[in-house]
Amino acid sequence: MTSTQDIILLGPPGAGKGTQAFRLATRLGLPHISTGDLFRQNLREQTPVGLMAKGFMDRGLLVPDEVVCEMVRERLELDDASSGSLLDGFPRTIPQAEALEGMLRRLGRRVDCVLFFDAQDATLVERIAGRLTCSGCSAAFHARFAPPKVAGVCDHCGKAGLAVRSDDTEAAVSARLVEYRTKTEPLLSRYTKSGQLRVINAEQPIATVENSLALALESN
Ligand code: AMP
């Protein structure tokens, strides 16, 4: 195993990447870098990147590659990412994957492992339908499968601001699934060929998926 670790969480919207990323990042001591969270944070702060991304996010479309890649490049240069990263929701296109390889190469690193969250469409729709997201720290909850300890209050940061994401509407979710199938799914064959892909059955309950991820990383 290398001293740094760069791990990608790949999968369709609603597969549980965010939920697992929170747990995994703490366990591995890696920063959780979610491009969706970074855009939502930019939007809360009304930055040009956030305002520009909003139009794409609300329609369930991917933000242009150049914008995402620049944001990730800057994020990977921060001190806490010097020992590696847990990338959640990036890369989502082939050009993003190529850009990431270049960024890591320049840092003397490479992608160590790609954990693919495999789940059926019916499961994704069910999970997105009950999803609640913290407006403070972006932690994800589910009204039925992973409710917060106190209704409406985030277990992680304590903020009373759990809400349905503005892009969790039926129209935006269908668009996100189409974007996923056409632009993100091609990454599967790329990472299968490179031997980096580990398939995780994301249909299982949260604790079982957590164990599967740990096993996949141990055998890496
Ligand atoms: P997520 O929180 O990962 O579901 O992302 C929410 C939205 O942010 C997506 O629907 C896109 O509009 C945008 N986004 C997040 N990550 C990316 C990415 N890697 N490439 C393009 N757009 C992204």
Task: Assess if residue 163 is contained within a domain.
Answer: no
Question: Is residue 27 one of the residues assigned to a domain?
Answer: yes
**How far is residue 102 from each of residues 72, 73, 113, 132, measured CA to CA in Å?**
12, 10, 16, 35
**Could you tell me if the CB of 154 is within 6 A of ligand 1?**
no
**0.95 cut: is pTM over it?**
no
The pLDDT score that the predictor gives to residue 1 is: 44
Residue 140 lies in a domain: no
Domain membership of residue 193 (yes or no) is yes
User: Probe ligand 1: pick from 22, 52, 57, 66, max atoms within 8 Å of CB?
Assistant: 57
Share of the chain above pLDDT 90, in %: 80
The string of pLDDT tens digits covering residues 38-53 is 999 999 999 999 999 9
Q: How far apart are CA 97 and CA 88, in angstroms?
A: 13
203 in a domain, yes or no? yes
**Domain membership flag for residue 95:** yes
Total domains in the fold of the chain? 1
| CA dist., res. 200 & res. 219, Å (int) | 13
Strand pairing category for 5-10 and 84-88: parallel
For residue 20, the domain's CATH number is 3.40.50.300
Q: What is the pLDDT of residues 148-198, one digit of tens each?
A: 999 999 998 999 989 998 888 889 999 999 999 999 999 999 999 999 999
The answer to whether residue 202 sits within a structural domain is: yes
Please tell me the predicted confidence (pLDDT) of residue 37: 93
Q: HEC string of the chain?
A: CCCCEEEEEECCCCCCHHHHHHHHHHHHCCCEEEHHHHHHHHHHCCCHHHHHHHHHHHCCCCCCHHHHHHHHHHHHCCHHHCCEEEEECCCCCHHHHHHHHHHHHHCCCCCCEEEEEECCHHHHHHHHHCEEEECCCCCEEECCCECCCCCCCCCCCCCCCEECCCCCCHHHHHHHHHHHHHHHCHHHHHHHHCCCEEEEECCCCHHHHHHHHHHHHHCC
Whose alpha carbon is nearest atom 3 of ligand 1?
Answer: 36
Per-residue model confidence (pLDDT) at position 2: 46
Q: What is the extent of the structural domain holding 105?
A: 5-121+169-218
What per-residue confidence (pLDDT) applies to 138?
82
Q: Is residue 161 part of a domain?
A: no
Mutate to test the pocket of ligand 1, among 67, 92, 164, 187 (most ligand atoms within 8 A of CB): 92
Q: What is the mean pLDDT of residues 62-78?
A: 97
Confirm or reject: Cβ of 68 under 6 Å from ligand 1: yes
Per-residue pLDDT band at 114 (split at 50, 70, 90): very high
